[in-house]
Structures are given as C-alpha cells and as structure tokens.
Chain A
C-alpha cells in the first residue's frame, strides 16, 4: 500500500476500499518512520493534508451515494509532494536556500492551482539543490537527501527530495523541476519515472526561476501511467506565462496503449561515450532490445553537437540565473541583513543567503554577459544551442523516439563530487540537450547495477510528442516490469 500508484489509489478511493484520510495518514506515518533517514522533506504540512483529505472523503462519499464518482476530479484525495522551488501559497517555499528560509508566498503557482483543482492534497515541500543548482541535492542549504536504495548515496538532483520521496513511499508522486535534467537524473538514480515536458507545455508561473529558457515543471511518479495522469493535469496554456504554448492537451493517460510495432527508435552513438559505467550501458542496450523485440525499428543516429551541450548549458543557464537571482536583495522578502548602506545590505544579504554553488553560477553568468565577453560566451552559446536543436530536428525527421541512458553512472556516494564541481556537472551530460532543444524526455527504470542501485533509461521525442513518448515508455515498462521494485528501508 505504501507504494501504491495514483491510478490504483483512485480506483480504491472511488470504490470506497480506502478513505483519503486513511491513505494520507498511512503516508504521513511512513514519512514519520523513514524520513529521518531519507530526509526528503524540507517542510511538512500534515494538518493541511489531513484537512484536505477529510474534504476529499466528504466529496467521495457524496459521489458514491449519487453514483457520480466518474465525474470527480482526477486526483481527488491523492497525496503528493512538491519540490521546494515551486511556489505554494501560504506554505514556506525556500528553494533550498537560506535567503528564503522564512519566505511564505502570498500567491499560488499555476501548477499548484491545477493540482488543487484536480483534487490533489499536499504533504509538504521536498528538498532541492539550492535554487535547483546541482545534481545531488547536496547543495541544499539545509541538509543532503539520501538515496532510499542506499542511504550512503545521493538521490540525484536537483529534484532529489521529490525522487527520494516517491521511491521511499513518502508520497504517491511528486512535482519536480527540470532545467538540465533535474527531474530525470534523480528519477534515474532513485528508480522512479521522471518526465520533463516540452518547453511551454506546463506553466512556469510560480516556479522560482533558475534558467527561464530551460526550466520546466515535471512529475516524478511510480509508473508511466501516473506520470501521464499528472501531465494531463499540469499541461495547458496559462495566460500568466507568455512562454506557455496554447496547444490542445491530449488525454495522455488514455493514449498509452498504442503498440510500438513500427516505432522508429534512434540510438545516438554520442550518448554511449567512453567512461560510462559498463552496467549502465548494458542495461540500456538491453532495454532498447526489449523495444526491438516489441516490434520497434531500432537504428543508430548521430547528434554531432552533443559534446557542446555542457558548456552551452552552463553559459546560458548561468547567464539567465545571474539575472533571475538579482531580486533576492533583502528588501522586500526573505533574508535581510542589517547593514549601514544599500550596497552593504546587498553584499551581506546575498553573501550570507546564497551558498557557494549559487554564487559560482551567478558569477559565471554575469561574466558571460558582461561587455566584451557577451559575443564570445553568451551569444556563441546561443548559436551553438541552435545547432543542437538542428541536430534533434534532423534526427527526429528519421526516428520517432530517441533512446539512451539518463546518466553515465548510477547514484554516486554522498560527498564524492562536492569538491569537484566539474565532475558534478558531467553527471547531467546526457540530460542537458533535451532542455536546450526544448524537447520532452522521460527517465524510467531499466535495471540495477551490481551494488543494487537503479539505472535509468531516457527516451526523448519531438516537441509536443508526449503521447508518443509516453506510449513508448509505457510499452517498455509493461514488458520489463522494473517499476514494481521498491527499496527496503
């Protein structure tokens, strides 16, 4: 029951086999029991969750009596966790940073509003690398989250709290945000499903911006069906986000059962570079073989600018971040260091409030945008970004879906890469390109290494091709069955 899916819980709730309060209380007990080890949550809101559960139960009872349970909102009574980079009205939103330690947002993010309208209830806010800048959740200003499969290892990041909470049975599913792999990489490390939608598919209104042209909110879930369910709720045009796209929202969860026979699957040769953990390559190649056995046409493809994705990403993301984080100035909200002048207030507030990784990226970004360097760094990065997009356009003219590993290794040990930022950055090398190209991508479990740590299979597709992407992922998941494995804590 702790590892129940959304779709199974919904059936039980509607049938009256379980109550929303009962389900929520069970998850809260699980959090009580294991979160001291996993440390997935930064903030818990049990009273709010239970009160919402009671309201859901009342609606469920009434609907059962009236025979109208099919008309209930899709996530009624489903307890979820929210990454702490996503604004939650009335609930502390820290972004894993000291600078927002006591910040309680007075407005609601669109993603949260949509979840609440769909009837979901919120258990709390999950840990993240500070302002989503990291790949291990170790750069959180509060504490490191641990991988439920092995507590000595990281859960990945930056949505490590959400991925660990889903894997550990501390919620049914969770929201994360993905700027360079921050949903998919922790999903891979924690053996859950993580989906980054097409850029513009889900509103960013209320997602605290790290890199505006790359950020997307996405679900972390136990299986592909749940990810599709959540995408269906989150997706859609939002007049408050000018970069959200007014495209129709397909019924993703009802479109999973498409056969993969004839599906053209491209395997990019650049994504199996030397240095990759052999067990990862073996598991991913075996997964691709499963798709081939299901009738997919597998072929090798080239994405020639792949090796440039990392420098391009760290220039563009840092440049945007340097401006996005300028608003944390100690004047209107958050940490405010008392000082003798405005400039000292800035220096003290930001000096105390931001951690070293955030400062590093602000400096890198400000440098890349500064007079005399703009053309060589920021502008050049944008030009190369166009080439990376063109790589995908060309490849996706030949194939429907691209299959590759989510990351070159399984989860590393806590502390292993903190002293070496560059080796940390390299853990995202296979996920960055989908953000740069704005394409939808999903990570789902495809096996375990010798140490028992999960391995992630990444699938990517063309813009707004989530139905195709999810159908391919669903076909593999159902054939392989890895999603039924859970860590023991």
Chain B
C-alpha cells in the first residue's frame, strides 16, 4: 500500500469464533440447537449459572476442535487446561467465561491460502475451546447503547439460549498482508470447517464471527505499528471493506503527522466506516486463572491418531485430485471441491456416468455451468437441489448417446430442477427425443437449402461460415430435435452435391 512518498505494509491478524455443531452445549446437557427456540428455553442450572452448578466438558466439542486443529496443521496438546476469563456483563451469567489461556488444545499450525495470484502460508497461533455468551436485546432508549443505561421505557432483555454453546476460537499469527488475503483466509477457513462438519461457518447467522487486528508500518520497518482491533465483521464483504477502510484511515493519520492510537473499532456497515467503540488506554485485565471446576484435560495420542486417520480429504487436496485425475481445469476443480456437498455431488455424478475422465469433465461442465446457474437463480444450495447425482447422470447419458441434443438437455435439466421429475418422463412429455432418422432430417435439409438459395451460393463461393447459419435453420426446422452431428453431415453432403 503506497501513499505519498512512503510505502506502507499492512499487517493483519484474525481471530475467528466458530460455533461448533454439537447436539448439546459446551458444559451442560442443554440442546445447542437454539435458533428457533423461544428465549430462555434451552437453559439449565449450569448455563444459567445458578449457585452450586458445575460444568462438565462436552467430549464431542473437544473432538471437533481437535479435528479442526489437525486440518489446520496444528500441534494437538497432550495436556490442556481450561481457564476462567473474568469480566462482568449481562450476557455472561457466571461473571466469567470458561475459555482456554495457557495450554490451548491446538497450537502452532498453518493454513495455505492464495490471494491476488500469490500463495501465502498463514500461521495459526492457537485454536482453542470456549463457551458462547447469551444474547442481549436492547429495548426503548437502551437500544444501541452497549452500556445498558436504562432511560424511560428502556430495558435490556437477556436470552441465555446461546450461553454455553461451544465456540472454537482460531487465532492467526500477524501474517496477513492485505484485506484481500484476510478475506481469502476466511473463505478457506470456512470451507475447511464446513468440510469437517465442525461448524456451519455461517457468518450472517453469527455461527462464525471475526475480529481483526490491523496495523501498518513503512515498508522495511521490522517493528509492528500500533494495532487497532476491528469488530462487528459479519460477512466476508464487510471484513474486506472494513479492513480497506481501516488501513486507509491509518495511513491518512500517519500522513497527516499523527499517530495511530490503540483502540477497539466497530465496523459501521451502513455508513461504510470504522468507529471507535472503546479506548484501550485502560487495558482489559481478565484475571485468567486455571478453571478449578475442570481437571486438566489429558488428550490420548491414540485418539488424536484415530481422528487424524479419519479426517476427510480437504478442499485443496480434493481439487488437486480432480485436476490430476479428471483433467479438469484448475478453476473448475477448485469450484467443485470448495464445498464438500458439491464435491460429493460431482463425484457421484461422474461415477454414475462411468467414472472416466471424459465423463467427469462432462459432469463438471454441466454442474459448474447449467446447474450452478439454476441454483443461483433459485437461491438454493446443492443440498436442496431436487436433481440427485444419479438423475443428472441419467440426463447426461441421454445427451451423450444423442437421444436429445445439448440444448434440449438444458431445457430438460431446467424442468428436472423445477419438478424433481426424471429426465425420461420430461423428454416424453415435451416430445424432445432427438431425431436421428436420416430420411426425416434429409427432408429438412432439402427444405432449408431450397428456401435460402443466396446463402447456398455464398457457401459454394467459399464463404464457409454460412454453414453454421444454415445448421441453425435446419435445427429450427426440426424444432431443435435434430441430432446435430447428423444434421451437419447431411448438410455438408447436400452442399457438396
């Protein structure tokens, strides 16, 4: 990043909180599936912090954290501790959050990303387990006031359904060098968490949340600049926009001869700017200490080995395999491998089509082209598509065999997508079965040649491009059902004659 005479380097580190997909909460038996539940219905003495209640560790949350750690190339601790992070707030029933401080479950990993055409390895400082807080709703005059001042008619409602949901916190090293790299990292991280079934990674629903530490320094300087924490980043887009804004703001401050002050900023999506939430001059003191209610957690290396062996093939490896085995171009391979459900769908379709590289490429073309277009238009995900891999392969087989032509195939897929009906029935209903009867097609060719003598003359005078136009006319004559290869052959023959 350059401005004026000095070139600046951007330094970004990200903290991501991802809700884990577990049946129950982190430290009690309450259901973690709270999205549609009325307030304070998924609560118990433990997550409401009644006097005397005690936490018990959710084994599945530990397992999912280890799996995420392994996928992020982390070292998994053999001996790990939970800690109390002490602070008072209305959404934190115990007055402390059970988190990890010393000896996190996973540490010292990395994630390879690609951004702006360059590959970069992003260090993962740690990935640890903690619990989510409750949710506050500000009413009346308290709305928008995080200090919870109660004016007339103002109130803050506390919903503890979310309190105690397991959270995976993933902290990078300050290795990211641009907002686009930060975005690319998040996209990749979300892919991996989804692949593992560890988290829905849904940023809009708050299942994955991001905070960034941003600083700048003149290129060549080894010391870091003063960092600013940016919160309230609720989408990939807002991460990128907020970081771009914040980097530009910091450069402007330095260019104007000022200095960057250590603060916590919030991203104001509506106005497209970062605003100061609180000054860091009185540094937070969370008084961390080891959680005495939970003994140190000893992780059996054999368990970690089992989990490692059972890790699914991750997006990068899968994309590389698609490119190598099926000779897909890299972009298509990455597109198909990016989500596990899409990749599974692709591989199942390719297998049903015979599993050869050409079959796979056909499947890839149809999925990344027509199917993605239909999904995008309908706003659905692959899991909701009514056309299963076998049904798609059936359709593609019919196209390959010349039963219908490619254009009709697209029409049929559109109908299948709408209705969930099999290809055969739709082809029958629409009367799309391709005409491969040479006599019938020859008649159509003759009719077209008779209708357009000028064009025939042009072709015969050497203007070969007219052939395509004449093809189109014959296909039109057959209402699109003509077998294109046969039409082309018949047309060529008739024109020669």
Contact = CB atoms under 8 A, between A and B. Distances in A.
Please indicate which of the listed interface residues B48, B84, B158, B295 has the most CB atoms of chain A within 10 Å of its own CB.
Answer: B84
A342 B148 contact: yes
Contacts of B149: 340-342
Contacts of B303: none
B330 interface: no
Contacts of A339: 150
B55 interface: yes
A369 B289 contact: yes
Interface stretch (A70-78, A208-216, A251-259): A208-216
A346 B158 CA distance: 15
B196 to A, nearest CB: 26
Nearest to A343: B147
Interface in A75-106: 86-87, 93, 95, 100, 103, 105-106
Contacts of A332: 48-50, 93, 158
Interface string A439-477: 000000000000000000000000000000000000000
B54 interface: yes
Interface stretch (A31-39, A58-66, A238-246, A403-411): A238-246
Please indicate which of the listed interface residues A369, A370, A374 has the most CB atoms of chain B within 10 Å of its own CB.
Answer: A369
B140 interface: no
Contact of B86 (A204, A205, A240, A323): A323
Contacts of A322: 86, 287
Nearest to B57: A242
A319 B291 CA distance: 11
B295 A326 contact: no
Given A323-B96, A332-B93, A346-B88, A366 B287 contact: yes
A465 to B, nearest CB: 21
B45 to A, nearest CB: 5
Given A93-B51, A327-B51, A342 B90 contact: yes
A327 B56 contact: no
A207 interface: yes
A329 interface: yes
Interface in B319-351: none
Contacts of B96: 323, 326
B219 interface: no
Given A369-B86, A370-B285, A371-B285, A240 B51 contact: no
Interface string A205-241: 1111101110000000000000000000000000111
B55 A242 contact: yes
B94 A327 contact: yes
B147 A329 contact: no
Nearest to A331: B90
B292 A212 contact: yes
A107 B294 CA distance: 21
Contacts of B45: 106-107
B268 interface: no
Contact of A87 (B48, B51, B86, B158): B51
B440 interface: no
Interface string A318-355: 01101101111101110000011111001000000000
Contacts of A319: 289
B381 interface: no
Contacts of B150: 339-341
Interface in B120-179: 147-150, 156, 158
Contact of B52 (A209, A213, A340, A346): A209
Please indicate which of the listed interface residues A107, A323, A370 has the most CB atoms of chain B within 10 Å of its own CB.
Answer: A323
A95 to B, nearest CB: 7
B269 interface: no
B301 interface: no
A82 to B, nearest CB: 12
Contacts of B78: none
Nearest to B287: A369
A109 interface: yes
B95 interface: yes
A320 B53 CA distance: 15
B82 to A, nearest CB: 10
B298 interface: no
Interface residues of A, number: 48
A324 to B, nearest CB: 9
A207 B52 contact: yes
Nearest to B290: A382
B52 A87 contact: yes
B446 interface: no
A86 B53 CA distance: 11
A327 B53 CA distance: 11
B95 A95 contact: no
A326 B95 contact: yes
B418 interface: no
Interface string B70-95: 00000000000000101011100111
Interface in A171-187: none
B293 interface: yes
Nearest to A214: B292
A272 interface: no
B147 A240 contact: no
A325 B86 CA distance: 11
A243 B51 contact: no
A327 B293 contact: no
Given A242-B56, A340-B149, A370-B287, A333 B84 contact: no
Contact of B51 (A95, A323, A342, A371): A95
Contacts of A243: 54, 292-295
A109 B51 CA distance: 10
Interface in B252-285: 283, 285
A326 B51 contact: no
A149 interface: no
A211 B52 CA distance: 11
Given A340-B149, A341-B150, A239 B56 contact: yes
Contacts of B57: 242
Contacts of B148: 341-342
A392 interface: no
A207 B45 CA distance: 13
Interface in A366-408: 366, 369-371, 374, 378
Given A242-B57, A331-B90, A105 B50 contact: yes
A95 B90 CA distance: 23
Contact of B50 (A86, A333, A346): A333
A89 to B, nearest CB: 10
B103 to A, nearest CB: 14
Nearest to A111: B52
Contact of A341 (B52, B147, B295): B147
Given A327-B49, A333-B50, A346-B88, A378 B295 contact: no
Given A242-B55, A242-B57, A370-B285, A329 B293 contact: no
B94 A326 contact: yes
Nearest to B151: A340
A342 B294 CA distance: 30
Interface string B13-53: 00000000000000000000000000000001100111111
A326 B52 contact: no
A239 B147 CA distance: 39
Nearest to A99: B51
A322 B89 CA distance: 15
Contacts of B283: 371
Which 7 pairs of residues, A with B, have the shortest CB-CB distance? A326-B95, A342-B148, A212-B292, A369-B287, A213-B292, A208-B51, A206-B52
Given A329-B95, A370-B285, 18 more contacts: A105-B50, A105-B51, A109-B52, A208-B51, A211-B292, A212-B292, A240-B54, A242-B295, A320-B292, A327-B51, A327-B95, A340-B149, A341-B149, A341-B150, A342-B89, A369-B287, A369-B289, A371-B287
5 contacts: A242-B57, A243-B292, A319-B289, A341-B150, A371-B283
Interface of A: 86-87, 93, 95, 100, 103, 105-107, 109, 204-209, 211-213, 239-243, 319-320, 322-323, 325-329, 331-333, 339-343, 346, 366, 369-371, 374, 378
